[in-house]
Structure 1
Amino acid sequence: MLRTLTNAALLAAAPLVLLASTAHAQDAGLSGGKWSFSAGAATDNRSKDTSKSDGEPFVYGGAEWANASGLFYASGSLETIDAGGSNLESELALGLRPEFAGFDFDLSVAHKNRFDADPGYDHDAWEFTADTKRSIGPASARLRLQYSPDSTGSTEAFTWVALRGGWDFTNKLNVSAEVGYRDQDNSVDYTGWNVGGSYALTPKVELDLRWHDTDADVPGEQYKGALVAGVNFAF
């Protein structure tokens, strides 16, 4: 039941995101927006608490354009992976970040593509994401609902539901924990979790140390627990 409601909500939101995104882009004009850039590296590429790089280090880079109000954005990124014969994945996304009743929302649709994958490997996917966030003083929380009608590789449709909580001990140090559940067609269902902290060395450089794990009993590095260290740069 939860999966059916989640899938319906995300699919219903997708055309609204695209229509509103187009309207706001036309109203604001590209000249009224702002560009931001990011890059980084970590000892493992973790997504939904599983490894996309077979437990090996990875690097990434991305760019985002947001309109003058910050409501509409478009982004693109590249990251190294090790899956299906591919070593590079791209993501292009459109989204909205509205605010309502003290809550921050992030609604997006993204297309992912894995370059030079093995013949017969399903190398691309659409993903729909809805985040609801709230901060009160040093405390923060986020509920994430994510759905793909046909994921990469042998996985078909999946739903990911995750709740994260965080606490700012200082203006530089944040500690957070997240637990989520992934329901996958033609692949293993699992509960994943992570806990760790981030520290801002400067306004543009952040360090992150986090433990990721799942309850999936699957051989190999993909679902295995690991301590992941990373560094992120903002421009």
Structure 2
Amino acid sequence: MIRILSSALAASFLLVGAAQAQEAPSPGYGDWSFSFGGATDNRSKDASKSQGDAFVWGEAEWESDSGFFYVTPAFETIKASTGSELEVALAAGIRPEVAGFDLDLKAEHKWHVDANPGTDDDGWEFTADVKRSIGPASARLRLQYSPDSTGSTEAWTWVALRGGWDFTDKLTATAEVGRREQDNSVDYTGWNAGFTYALTSHIEAEVRYYDTDADPNNPQYADAVVAGLSFSF
């Protein structure tokens, strides 16, 4: 685990160095942005991907000049049933606007690094977000699907509705409820609520409560208060 964390942290610093090198975007070639951070638990779809342990993550994003098309390589530390402690991903998507709604349509391929031999160590994930903001209020409907996930889980779907409110230009509260149904794994309903606060234009802190209606004795589905810090350039 220490070796995996060291590699992930080194990748984070490389992302920062690359970000600082992008002082002036090149017209006609799109723009790069970079972010990394860590939290006390790695929560995805309200379930833990790190068995309740802390994790680190990082990503880079290239966006076309129009903002319509983007590509994102990323990594995050995990504790998976495949034996892997590091997940890497490559995603591509588009961000159109339709009838006043912002859409984000993305296809992503994920790999579990150093997974146990014979385990299913990769999978596709497709995401469709529909977002709308009116004044300080915001809402997002998220639909996700995988035809064959990593590990023993096969096809799954996730549907979630999130609402948010900007109290100030720095402080935002959001709450979300979602439903996940999986072949060869647990079906559950999850929810979360919390706050994000912009410490600076590049640093954001977050505190969020997560819970599910699945087995509370399993750290993957147990409730938790998660604190995190992220940096973006």
TM-score between the two structures when normalised by the length of structure 2: 0.87
Q: 3-state DSSP class of the match of 2:150?
A: coil
Which residue identity is paired with 1:93? A
Counterpart CA distance in 1 for 2:28 and 2:57 is 27
Match of residue 43 from structure 1: 40
Q: Distance in 1 between matches of 2:126 and 2:217?
A: 29
Provide the residue aligned with 1:185 in structure 2: 183
User: Which residue is equivalent to 1:59?
Assistant: 56
CA shift, 1:217, in A, is 1.9
**How many residues are aligned here?**
207
Letter in 1 for 2:135: G
Could you tell me the percent identity over the aligned residues?
Answer: 66
1:20-169 equivalences in 2 (<5 Å): 31-83=28-80, 84-169=82-167
Shift of 1:220: 2.3
Task: Give the aligned partner of residue 198 of structure 2.
Answer: 200
Code of the residue aligned with 1:48 in structure 2: it is K
Structure 1 residue 118: Cα displacement? 1.4
Q: 1:37-94 deviations in whole A, cap 9, x for unaligned?
A: 0000000000000000110000011100000000000000011111121110001001
2:27–2:65 CA contact under 8 A, matched in 1: no
TM-score under structure 1 normalisation? 0.86
Q: Distance in 2 between matches of 1:212 and 1:186?
A: 23
Q: CA deviation at 1:100?
A: 1.5
- Decide whether the 8 Å contact of 2:216 with 2:223 is kept in 1: no
5+ residue gaps, structure 1, are 1-28
User: Which amino acid letter does the alignment assign opposite residue 51 of structure 2?
Assistant: D
Q: 1:199, 1:30 → 2: CA distance?
A: 32
The question of whether the paired residues in 2 share the 8 Å contact of 1:30 and 1:67 is answered with no
Alignment RMSD (CA, Å): 1.2
Quote the Cα distance in structure 2 between the aligned partners of 1:30 and 1:155: 44
Contact preservation (8 Å) 2:63, 2:71: yes
User: Which 4+ residue blocks in structure 1 deviate beyond 4 angstroms?
Assistant: none
**SS in structure 1 opposite 2:110?**
strand
Deviations 1:166-205 (A, max 9, x none): 0000000000000000010000100000000000000110
Do the aligned partners of 2:48 and 2:220 also contact (CA within 8 Å) in 1?
yes
